[in-house]
Structure 1
Amino acid sequence: MPAHPLARAALAVAATGVAGVGYAAGIERNAFALREVTLAVLAPGSSSIKVLHVSDLHMTPGQRRKQQWVRELDRLDPDLVVNTGDNLAHRRAVPSVVQALDPLLARPGLFVFGSNDYFAPTPKNPAHYLTARHTRVHGVPLPWADLRAAFSERGWLDATHTRHRLEVGGVRIAVIGVDDPHLQRERMATVAGAAPEDAELRLALTHSPEPRVLDVFAADGYDLVLAGHTHGGQLCIPLLGAVVTNCELDRSRAKGPSRWGAHTWLHVSAGLGTSPYAPVRFACRPEASLLTLVAAPAGSRPAPVVVGERGIPVGGGSGVG
């Protein structure tokens, strides 16, 4: 007897769902991409510099494909590397993160940490992200201090609640950062205040791009804020974008550059990983970003040039992504 039309339709929907989950879990979450953006944020007359923005690795020891891909990013020859946190997803992942970032640790670098540097992920009902703005179920503590020591010993600067001055590529940079606002660990009073006027780039770092933090950075005159945390929405609707950001940031800013106020640019990385308990990506490839920062013409506020996404071939990496 022929199947009822409704039964055939139900089977088709179920098959499509299974295929979608298979694609999101087996293909797209390993389809690492490079986002390239040009931003005119430097003081007029400054030399251009390349900043590699890496975030949300959520590394576990067996993710050799991801580790190899991250190592290959050194071929981009960035002037500065910025890591905006959530490097860990396993208590034994510190060596894997350090090995993946090893070539980049030889370059000037800055970092702040996120919640998944401090606490391991735990199983959660994904529906909670649709009904609650904040999900803070802490797993076991992670060895974030070991990771901090490894980064610092190689010369990267911890920007957490600290002001730094450095020069890269002939550009004078003033930097501040805060601990993860998603855990309400930011202490804005430690870094608040007018950004230095003599810097050619005023840069602020945070893991979670919470508007209450972004408002302070913008009011203090910072040119560029780098953040992660959102995973770009992780599960997106084609042509519509992110469904949630897992923070107070509006969905239209879930990844890439956007203006925050009259002067400040915000760049949110969609990140390179996922929780081990939600290993899927859909319409939102895992990414790192290469930001080419150029001088702003005097008296103008040009829009960013988004070059787009492209894959980077890896040199022989294998294993679970």
Structure 2
Amino acid sequence: MKHRKRRMLLIVAGVLVLGLMLSIYMSANCLTVNTYTWKTEKISGKVKLVVLSDLHDHEFGKDNKRLIAKVEEQQPDLILLDGDMLNEDSEDAHVPVTLVRELVKIAPVYYAKGNHEETYMQAGHEELIGELQDAGAVYLDQEYVDVQVHGETIRIGGLYAYAFGLDGNDSAEAVDPEIREFLEAYQDTDHLCVMLSHRPDSFIFGDASSVWKVDLVISGHNHGGQVVLPVLGGVFGGDQGYFPKYIHGMYQKDQMQIFATSGLGSHSEKLPRINNIPEIAVIELQN
């Protein structure tokens, strides 16, 4: 009886280990497309956005051919790359630059930096912005452009910095003057305002989401929580702590809609992505 019980425990343990290994493999190598619909009165038709974030130099097929093919299948109007497409310690920017060069054949590409691009450039790779622009991307950080799509005008901005004050004062009134100037100019329009902000933290803390007139914030950064547990959801959330709220999907916060993608890859985390399939996010804007 004891021998049979031990054998059953070994079988169960083996199944669990195999399941975990399969989940880790799929969370590194598979691709899923998730579609989110958001209605707004600021456009009269439909606009399709593809959002890619947190690639971390990963490749889905040589030169990301599988990823590019999946994006093309979505027939996007605009492609938004929302940061951490390489790693802070990458030798060069071959992966994101090659990806941009191919994606611009599908639709216009807009690129906002994440913390890894920030550190990568600070480490002596100031040429990154020029490389991305030469490949065809519109690079946005504390900048915005008005884009025409199917007769609709959409204002797309990029902001890596926090939209509120630091040093103990998290009021939007205490934001850095340079950032304030950018946000005030950005929101001075009746057009739909979409902001690429790699970290959802930039707008969810303090009173930023009730002060700044941003219609849709698009973020990544937290990899959907890195490890996703049944029922409980994603575990890790950076500044948000454990089991964070704003990590995957659409959220209404004050006057803002905040979208967070779980992204595509992972850097040197304590744990690999688990139960967390890399995501190509499609946002369908419609009236």
TM-score by length of 1: 0.72
Structure 1: which 5+ residue stretches go unaligned? 121-139, 296-321
| Residues 113-262 of structure 1 aligned to structure 2 (within 5 Å) | 113-119=113-119, 141=123, 143=125, 145-179=126-160, 181=162, 188-193=179-184, 195-199=187-191, 201-210=192-201, 212=203, 215-216=207-208, 218-248=210-240, 251-261=244-254
Q: CA deviation at 1:193?
A: 2.0
State the percentage of identical aligned residues: 22
Among 255, 276, 279, the alignment partner of 1:284 is 276
Q: 1:142 to 1:239 in 2, by over 3 A?
A: farther
RMSD over aligned Cα, in angstroms?
Answer: 3.1
Q: 1:294 to 1:208 in 2, by over 3 A?
A: same
The structure with the greater share of residues assigned to helix is: 2
1:78 paired residue number: 76
Deviations for 1:52-78, whole angstroms, at most 9, x for unmatched residues? 111000115x65368122211123221
Partners of 2:261 and 2:231 lie apart in 1 by 19
Structure 2: which 5+ residue stretches go unaligned? 167-174
Q: CA deviation at 1:220?
A: 2.1
Deviations for 1:191-235, whole angstroms, at most 9, x for unmatched residues? 222723331x11112111106566425522211000000111121
TM-score by length of 2: 0.80
- Does the CA contact (< 8 Å) of 2:209 and 2:253 recur in 1? no
Partners of 1:14 and 1:53 lie apart in 2 by 38
Among 258, 261, 266, the alignment partner of 1:269 is 261
1:110 paired residue number: 110
Q: CA deviation at 1:41?
A: 2.5
Partners of 1:101 and 1:285 lie apart in 2 by 22
3-state secondary structure, aligned to 1:152:
helix
Relative contact order (alpha carbons < 8 A, sep ≥ 6): 1 or 2 greater?
1
Q: 1:289 to 1:63 in 2, by over 3 A?
A: closer
Partners of 1:147 and 1:24 lie apart in 2 by 34
2:61 maps to a residue whose letter is R
- Does the CA contact (< 8 Å) of 2:100 and 2:109 recur in 1? no
Q: CA deviation at 1:10?
A: 6.7
Q: CA deviation at 1:157?
A: 2.1
Partners of 2:63 and 2:29 lie apart in 1 by 7
Among 53, 64, 69, the alignment partner of 1:55 is 53
| Residues 25-44 of structure 1 aligned to structure 2 (within 5 Å) | 25-43=24-42
